[in-house]
Amino acid sequence: MSSPSKRREMDLMKLMMGDYKVEMPNDKMQVLFVNFHGPKESLYQGGVWRVRVELPDAYPYKSPSIGFVNKMYHPNVDEMSDLVNVFEVFLPQLLLYPNPSDPLNGEAAALMLHDQSAYEQKVKEYCRLFAKPEDVGNSPEDESSDEEMIENEYDSSDEQMLGKPDP
């Protein structure tokens, strides 16, 4: 067995032995889903996200691709190469210390910069609507009515202040 293969297996084993629920849809160990709980004492506390992790053939020399399956309201995401650290260090740090000056979600960044209170309220609302433990297995299509409800709560004056959301 080559060293990268051993590293992949070791990282996956450590992750599965930790406090994370890990699902692998097949035996290839390239795609997995991990339930991630929002960090304590953060706006995301109590939220649970299903995170899709795709390990490239060149892992650990090439970073995994990571994405939230259920909705997340946060201005930015970064890369991390060590699989266990993604869930123990990176994701908690990402949620605890958002960086609105380098956003992937322009709307979240603008709201955070211009109205911290409204940003915090929206994060908590997303946690309540999209990140309950029982929501982790739901597909994004199941949540469209909740998203429409959120979008309808903000009138055109909010849009003028913040600009149009990213597509």
Span 12-19, average pLDDT: 90
Instruction: Please report which confidence band the pLDDT of residue 58 belongs to, taking 50, 70 and 90 as the band edges.
Output: confident
Q: Given this model, what pLDDT does residue 138 score? A: 67
pTM above 0.85, yes or no: no
DSSP class per residue in the chain: --HHHHHHHHHHHHHHHTT-EEE-SSTTSSEEEEEEEPPTTSTTTT-EEEEEEE--TTTTTSPPEEEESS----S------SHHHIIIIIHHHHHHS--TTS-SSHHHHHHHHH-HHHHHHHHHHHHHHH-SGGGTTS-GGGGHHHHHHHHHHS-HHHHHHH-PPP-
pLDDT band at 87 (very low <50, low <70, confident <90, very high): confident
User: Is residue 77's pLDDT more than 90?
Assistant: no
Cα of 117 vs its chain's centroid, Å: 21
**Which structure tokens are listed for 160?**
């003028």
pLDDT of 102-141, one tens digit each? 788 889 999 999 999 999 999 999 999 999 888 787 655 4
